[in-house]
Structure 1
Amino acid sequence: MARHKRSHPHGSPNRPRMWGKHAVAAALDNPERKVLRAWATQETAGLMQFPKDVPVTFADVADLGRLVPHDAPHQGVVIEVEPLEDIWLGDIISSAPEQALLLVLDQVTDPHNVGAILRSAAAFGAVGIVTQDRHSPPESGALAKAASGALERVPWARVVNLARALDEIGEAGFWRVGLAGEAEMDLKDALGPARVALVLGAEGPGLRPNTREHCDAVARLPISAAIESLNVSNAAAVALYAASIA
């Protein structure tokens, strides 16, 4: 007997579910995002601009809670979407202005961290983020919620080979600064050129050796000795601020 694949109750990589007012509103406002269906309370539905072709099911808070992972803060609205179309790295860097910030993530896989980094990237006007396709999280509700709408606004290029991508970034005139706690140089001393690519590694392993070799400089954030390191999303926010005012 043939087995029928059951749909995942909380969405799937091919049909992710998003929740929360900011994440959903941003998805609805994004002309590049295909929204397949929606569930909402009567009250929250009145605050959303659902397209006429999107089927909306009215549900109570408890029913919505069963559509998302346990304790996810859905805020009365859940949508199912198609993932965004792939964005090419070449398109991001070729359209970047003379003064630009770019984030490169080396095997940062936690969706909450990547979502928070997207949010900081939007806040400081970064032209995009770059990750390795095999070592980065897919679009998901948790990532979109942490990004608070930035998933729809910040270009995200997924590449096969991060070292080759860093070569391409360097050829486009970006000064590539890797962040590492053990570096001797402070970040402010490593900055200078108008186009900057900040390269951050995963918590624990940090930057891989091959990634370091493709950076123009390796620097650290001058944090207090009272704490060993910052969460990668916090480090990204601090580094973006420092680079934006340099």
Structure 2
Amino acid sequence: MARQLIYGQHAVAALLEGDPAGVQELWLQDGRDDAVSEHARDLAARHGISLRAVPRATLDRMLKGARHQGIAVRYRATRATRASDLEQLLAGLGDTALLLVLDGVQDPHNLGACLRSADAAGADAVIVPRRRAVGLTPAVYKAACGATERVPLVTVSNLAEALRRMAKSGVRLIGAGARAGIPYTQAELLGPVAMVLGGEGRGLRRLSAELCDQLIHVPMRSGAESLNVSVAAALCLYEVRRQRARNEAGEGLRGAG
């Protein structure tokens, strides 16, 4: 992966803590004297990372006006999770595997928000196609608020083939669409599951939908627009968690009886 300028307090802190070997230089805005800056300075000193204090105008110019919060790094990913192999991922999944598949999400803020939701819901990985979709850009790092360091983003060259491989490995494919299938709370989501969602505007592509074991939707009142993909992803992922927690609680009660 090429070197990138990553900015924002949460994104930079996550890189300094999770992949310091990939951080080549740290920039802090002149005059910053807060807990975030002090923590960043300590981590930079601990890992031998070059630190530069620069005027805000320099950061504005470097980052083309992005909302950088006075902190940025030059970064090149080193961890294996940056290019996780799908077969390796599938081989290590257990009975409670939870994957999020995004079919053509192109907005970096949406991908970042999906990564945050996947992280919070305990998903094992997020899977995206290499083409016609956004990858790990600086805007994604910032929007993800550190989730990029905790949830592997697996990029595949052929999404349809990847879905077939997931199904072959025992993962049930659940496709979510605006008006597809049954309400998401009525689907049985126990066992290894991959939630498959489409991109902005277009939604789930026909072939991806055909490869799914079941289609679901989030009910909305008449006339309402479709949900943002990151909102839909969060609802679906947490429905998986809700059902699994209820199932575990039920098994515990039966065992106690």
- Offset of residue 46 of structure 1: 2.0
Question: What does the per-residue CA deviation read over 1:60-112, in whole Å, with 9 as the maximum and x for residues that have no partner?
Answer: 22222222132x22122100111354111122222223112100010111111
SS at match of 2:131: helix
Q: Does 1:78 align with 2:72?
A: yes
**What's 1:144 paired with?**
141
- Retained in 1: the 8 A contact 2:3–2:74? yes
Q: Does 1:18 align with 2:18?
A: no
> CA separation in 1, counterparts of 2:237 and 2:28?
36
**What's 2:19 paired with?**
31
Q: Does 1:127 align with 2:124?
A: yes
- Retained in 1: the 8 A contact 2:20–2:47? no
- Retained in 2: the 8 A contact 1:175–1:193? no
Which range is displaced more, 160-169 or 83-92? 83-92
> CA separation in 2, counterparts of 1:179 and 1:155?
21
- Retained in 1: the 8 A contact 2:190–2:240? no
- Offset of residue 33 of structure 1: 5.4
Question: What does the per-residue CA deviation read over 1:190-218, in whole Å, with 9 as the maximum and x for residues that have no partner?
Answer: 23331110000012111111111110011
Amino acid aligned to 1:56: L
List structure 1 runs of 4+ shifted beyond 3 angstroms: none
Q: Does 1:67 align with 2:62?
A: yes
**What's 1:8 paired with?**
none
Which range is displaced more, 151-160 or 135-144? 135-144
Identity between Structure 1 and Structure 2 (%): 36
Question: Which has a greater percent of helix?
Answer: 2
> CA separation in 2, counterparts of 1:164 and 1:184?
23
SS at match of 2:109: helix
Count of matched residue pairs? 233
RMSD over aligned Cα atoms: 1.7
Which range is displaced more, 235-244 or 124-133? 235-244
> CA separation in 2, counterparts of 1:184 and 1:162?
21
Q: Does 1:228 align with 2:225?
A: yes
**What's 1:204 paired with?**
201
